[in-house]
């Protein structure tokens, strides 16, 4: 990345060109596949979103417009530009690609200026993606202006303090939005969803799904300044299972730091425990393992293998323990898998059904 | 057999990931070059990317005595050398290793197949592979009928009508026969034991990202498809050029030659993809149907004056990258008077509405100046009267689809040089996969093995396609066999082939594209 240059607003293109000329000797090509507009409403999430941008840039060159909003009474509006190199991890022999980044920092009372700055700086003809670090249904200054020109908005449910409310709002608004929508945390649990689909891959196992009695989901609970709701992915995963398997929501409680969610299953009540753990090899909120128990005593213990994109499955019945086996668990935090999930996957009925379930959870219970 | 995927409540219709049933992949010819260089690295990469099914095993089948551990060690060394994911990830390999086995047997030994069946049943029990089988025949083609017969005899493959709970598929490497008659006989032999839907004729060119992109490029971009016909296209040039010689393949090459090794399969498939009509859907049958229509419309090569449509060549000594290299006849296991071709240039016409009158020039050669595979669509010249004084700069638009290396697409157009005069200069718009999407797209074999396990034969050649290609080229092979060349070697290593290949185009007022 070049050093960031604070500039006068009318000079954006001129400054970007100047930076670009300064890089001529580095044998870079300039390219963009799309414009990525990021809105970080809270400073605590700005770094997380900045890291996401780096992950995206490793694979796809794009023009970045990063907006940092702030809820203060100060009055300011700063614009800076820089040039970043895409494909940082790619083959060194391959030509490197450089991309433009425009950073806008604005106080709350100046945010209204932002859309007018963005509009002339989009890459013509190519898609516009919004990575939104705030509940967009609460934001009414920038988002309404950008929605008509954007192709997709990617939400960050971590930015909402009340997940149930967020799910309710998503449910109400999904049909209203005229653009594609993706939810980062839904995208990030896609590997666990695919893995469970692969695990229950025979007639007998599909039948077993109806006999689930309890599930324990262990997740890395390490609330940080950046991630304040590490339970979200575990809640999504259980919500998806409940919705897919037709369970009816019953109650939520917190017991000894575990979140206990109970359902009426087709044949039996189902209890799900979300158990916080310390797993330093995982990002905050990362799911470490699942333990599934059936009514007949059969069980599946599924644990992520450290430093590897696999889980190891121990299946056992009352009488025998089967040989453990592995199933792929692609890393969706980085690389092409992440890109595919957030930019190209579509939200389908499973997501909507999951929202139905989670919006029933009394989220306030969890924060007590 | 209906996939269970559709029955699972955990499957979401909008997720496009292909469902792959549990299965065992058995590689015949497991000690061969292809297994170490391509197949095992491809399977390892699938494991690395999380694309293999949860219940999977791979068994190498070959004649040499070897333990499981010896085979695993050799394959680890091969993956370390040839995988696109290097260095090998120890954890991924350790898991993969537990699913990798070796089975020693002669290809004609009944007892060996019987033991294989028992061994696979044991793997089914231990690894949950459910009796599903993929057999990859990476052997000399002469073994194909024998192996398929033995697989059938020992119930390793299943009758298609009884494939309810489990399935079997066979991947066949090229070449599929060595002329029309042998291909028909081979097809007759294997169809006694297998249904066409169980046979996967692999052509690794079809697994390449750019070739797959060709359909997207043509049929999702209206501007190009509108120009993709004889009103706008002057000619099409397909080039498969290699700077390497035949290496250690002397014995094989003496029986094959360039027409059989590259043109009959890879180049004819590329031709089909360029020339076919839009399929009615992206399903395998629709795409195969369009390809076979192209094959059926190929004009037979006129044998009365063959040099006007087909040129053959053989490389002599010369220079590659500034270094001396020997000629074909000096290579190991090659007849010093060999008349086998290492270069082919063809002019082909497709007699249908879209392509009437447009020549398709194909050239493939060994020991040419550089390695490149590409398809060039050369458009007709714009009426030139406005820029006649700039005739030199006024070149036809050319769309180039580069298949390897540097996969991508470029478009050449004319542009005015800045200044007071109206001098023109051709310029290029260039799209490179490596720059936009990272430098390591999946290897062709990864995609193809994965597709076969998923039961998708879209990217494999169907029997009628292979036979149609032989139907076009066998008369030429016969003619060349009957008339020994008198001028071999007729091109020096490091040059773009024999002079006659240039003449082939010059006679039409055209030139090979400068690559």
Chunk chain A into consecutive blocks of 10 residues (it has 368) and report each block's average pLDDT, rounded to whole numbers: 65 85 77 90 82 85 90 84 73 70 90 88 90 80 88 87 88 85 93 90 85 94 78 94 94 91 92 92 90 94 82 88 82 77 89 94 72
What is the arithmetic mean of pLDDT over B42-59?
89
Q: What is the pLDDT of residues B305-361, one digit of tens each?
A: 888 999 999 999 999 888 899 999 999 999 999 999 999 999 999 999 999 999 999
Tell the burial category of B473 from Cβ atoms under 10 Å away from its Cβ (0-12, 13-18, 19+).
buried
Residue indicated by tokens 């890395």: A220
Instruction: Report the residue of chain B nearest A346, measured CA to CA.
Output: B14
Q: Do B4 and A202 touch (CB under 8 A)?
A: yes
Q: Provide mean pLDDT across the span B71-84.
A: 93
Q: What is the mean pLDDT of residues B126-154?
A: 92
Structure tokens, A200: 């229950």
Query: Residue A310: which of B13, B95, B440 has the nearest Cβ?
Result: B95
The residue that leads in pLDDT, B199 or B435, is B199
ω into residue B408 within 30 of 0, thus cis?
no
Could you tell me what percent of chain B has a pLDDT over 90? 63
**Taking CB atoms and an 8 Å cutoff, what residues of chain A touch B88?**
none
Q: Give the percent of chain B with pLDDT over 70.
A: 95
pLDDT surpassing 80 at residue B494 = yes
**Euclidean distance between CA atoms A201 and A204, whole angstroms:** 8
> For the packed helices A349-358 and A163-174, what is the interaxial angle rounded to 10 degrees?
140
CATH 3.30.360 fits A188-367, yes or no: yes
pLDDT in tens, B397-439: 999 999 988 788 999 988 888 777 777 888 888 888 877 776 5
Nearest CA in chain B to A330: B50
- pLDDT greater than 70 at residue B388: no
Specify which residues B133 forms β-bridges with: B24, B168
Residues of B in Cβ contact (< 8 Å) with A310: 50, 91-92, 95
Residue B3 has pLDDT above 60, yes or no: no
Instruction: Indicate the average pLDDT of chain B.
Output: 90
> What pLDDT does residue B2 have?
47
Q: What gap in Å lies between CA B252 and CA B265, rounded to an integer?
A: 16
The closest of B299, B288, B314, B290 to B360, measured between CA atoms, is: B299
Q: Which domains does chain B have, with CATH numbers?
A: 18-173 (3.40.50.720), 206-438+461-506 (3.30.360.10)
Interface test with B, best of A127, A325, A348 (most B CBs within 10 A): A325
Question: What is the spatial order of strands in the sheet that B100-104 belongs to?
Answer: B100-104, B56-62, B23-28, B133-137, B168-172, B199-201
Contact B151, B157 (CB under 8 A): yes
- Give the number of other CB atoms < 10 A from CB of residue B207: 22
B contact set with A (CB within 8 A): 4-5, 7-15, 17, 19, 21-22, 47-55, 89, 91-92, 95, 126-128, 130, 432, 434-440
Q: Give residues with Cβ within 8 angstroms of B317, minimum separation 6.
A: B324, B325, B326, B327, B330, B492, B493
Vertex B75: Cα angle to B73 and B76 (nearest 5): 65
d(CA B61, CA B27): 6
pLDDT band at B304 (very low <50, low <70, confident <90, very high): confident
B14/A348 CB distance under 8 A: yes
> What is the Cα B55 distance to its own chain's centre?
29
* Closest in B9, B89, B92 to A244, CB measured: B9
d(CA B461, CA B206): 9
Highest mean pLDDT (candidates B120-134, B355-369, B385-399): B355-369
Q: Among candidates B344, B289, B291, which has minimal Cα distance to B314?
A: B344
Of the spans A213-227, B82-96, B457-471, which averages the highest pLDDT?
Answer: B457-471
CA dihedral B240, B246, B250, B256 (to 10 degrees): 0
Q: Which residue of B has its CA nearest to A328?
A: B50
């Amino acid at each position: 990345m070049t050093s960031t240059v604070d500039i006068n607003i009318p000079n954006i293109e001129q400054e970007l060109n100047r930076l670009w000329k300064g890089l001529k000797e580095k044998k870079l090509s300039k390219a963009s596949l799309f414009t990525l507009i990021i809105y970080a409403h809270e400073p605590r999430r700005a770094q997380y979103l900045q890291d996401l941008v780096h992950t995206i840039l490793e694979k796809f060159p794009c023009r970045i417009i990063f907006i940092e909003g702030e809820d203060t009474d100060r009055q300011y509006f700063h614009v800076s530009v820089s040039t970043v190199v895409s494909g940082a991890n790619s083959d060194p022999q391959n030509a490197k690609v450089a991309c433009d980044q425009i950073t806008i920092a604005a106080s709350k009372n100046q945010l209204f200026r932002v859309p007018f700055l963005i509009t002339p700086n989009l890459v013509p003809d190519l898609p516009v993606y919004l990575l939104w670090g705030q509940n967009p249904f609460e934001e009414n200054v920038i988002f309404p202006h950008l929605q008509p020109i954007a192709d997709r908005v990617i939400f960050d449910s971590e930015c909402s303090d009340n997940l149930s409310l967020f799910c309710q709002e998503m449910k109400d608004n999904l049909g209203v939005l005229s653009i594609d929508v993706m939810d980062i945390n839904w995208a990030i649990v896609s590997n666990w969803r695919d893995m469970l689909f692969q695990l229950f891959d025979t007639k007998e196992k599909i039948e077993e799904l109806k006999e689930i009695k309890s599930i324990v989901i262990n997740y890395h609970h390490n609330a940080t300044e950046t991630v304040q709701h590490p339970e979200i992915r575990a809640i999504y995963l259980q919500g998806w299972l409940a919705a897919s398997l037709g369970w009816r929501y019953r109650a939520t409680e917190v017991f000894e730091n575990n979140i206990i969610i109970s359902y009426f299953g087709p044949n039996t009540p189902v209890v799900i425990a979300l158990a916080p753990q310390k797993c330093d090899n995982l990002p905050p909120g990362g799911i470490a393992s699942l333990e599934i128990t059936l009514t007949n005593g059969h069980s599946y213990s599924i644990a992520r293998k450290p430093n590897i994109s696999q889980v190891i499955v121990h299946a056992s019945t009352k009488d025998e323990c089967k040989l453990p086996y592995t199933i792929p668990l692609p890393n969706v935090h980085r690389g092409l898998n992440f890109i595919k999930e957030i930019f190209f996957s579509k939200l389908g009925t499973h997501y909507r059904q999951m929202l139905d379930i989670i919006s029933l959870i009394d989220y306030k219970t969890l924060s007590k | 057999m209906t996939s269970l995927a559709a029955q699972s409540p955990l499957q979401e219709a909008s997720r496009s990931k292909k469902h792959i049933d549990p299965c065992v992949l058995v590689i015949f010819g497991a000690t061969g070059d292809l297994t170490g260089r391509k197949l095992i690295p491809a399977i390892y990469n699938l494991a690395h990317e999380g694309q293999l099914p949860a219940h999977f095993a791979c068994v190498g089948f070959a004649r040499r005595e070897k333990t499981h551990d010896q085979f695993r060690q050799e394959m680890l060394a091969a993956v370390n050398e040839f995988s696109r994911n290097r260095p090998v990830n120890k954890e991924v390999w350790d898991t993969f290793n537990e699913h990798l086995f070796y089975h020693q047997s002669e290809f004609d030994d009944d007892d060996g197949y019987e033991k294989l069946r028992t061994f696979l049943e044991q793997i089914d029990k231990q690894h949950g592979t459910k009796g599903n089988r993929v057999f990859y025949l990476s052997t000399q083609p002469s073994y194909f009928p024998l192996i398929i017969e033995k697989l059938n005899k020992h119930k390793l493959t299943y009758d298609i009508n009884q494939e309810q709970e489990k399935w079997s598929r066979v991947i066949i490497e090229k070449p599929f026969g060595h002329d029309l008659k042998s291909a028909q006989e081979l097809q007759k032999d294997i169809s006694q034991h297998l249904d066409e839907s169980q046979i996967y004729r692999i052509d690794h060119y079809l697994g390449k990202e750019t070739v797959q992109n060709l359909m997207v490029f043509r049929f999702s971009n209206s501007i190009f498809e509108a120009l993709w016909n004889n009103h706008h296209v002057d000619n099409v040039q397909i080039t498969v050029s290699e700077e390497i010689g035949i290496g250690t393949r002397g014995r094989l090459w003496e029986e094959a030659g360039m027409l059989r090794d590259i043109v009959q399969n890879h180049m004819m498939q590329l031709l089909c993809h360029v020339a076919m009509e839009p399929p009615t859907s992206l399903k395998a049958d629709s795409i195969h149907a369009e390809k076979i229509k192209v094959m059926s419309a190929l004009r037979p090569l006129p044998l009365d004056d063959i040099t006007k449509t087909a040129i053959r060549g053989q490389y002599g000594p010369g220079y590659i990258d500034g270094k001396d290299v020997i000629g074909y006849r000096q290579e190991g296991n090659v007849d010093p008077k060999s008349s086998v071709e290492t270069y082919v240039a063809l002019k082909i016409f497709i007699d249908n509405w879209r392509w009437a009158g447009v020549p398709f020039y194909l050239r493939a050669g060994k020991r040419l100046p550089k390695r490149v595979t590409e398809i060039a669509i050369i458009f007709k010249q714009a009426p030139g009267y406005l820029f006649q004084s700039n005739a030199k700069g006024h070149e036809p638009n050319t769309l180039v689809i580069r298949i390897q290396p540097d996969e991508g697409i470029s478009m050449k157009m004319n542009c005015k040089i800045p200044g007071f005069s109206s001098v023109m200069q051709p310029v290029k718009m260039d799209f490179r996969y490596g720059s936009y999407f990272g430098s390591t797209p999946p290897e062709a074999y990864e995609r193809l093995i994965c597709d076969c396990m998923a039961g998708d034969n879209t990217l494999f050649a169907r029997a009628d396609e292979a036979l149609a290609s032989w139907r076009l080229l066998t008369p030429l092979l016969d003619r060349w066999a009957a008339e020994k060349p008198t001028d071999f070697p007729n091109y020096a290593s490091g040059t773009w082939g024999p002079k006659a290949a240039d003449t082939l185009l010059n006679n039409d007022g055209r030139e090979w594209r400068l690559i």
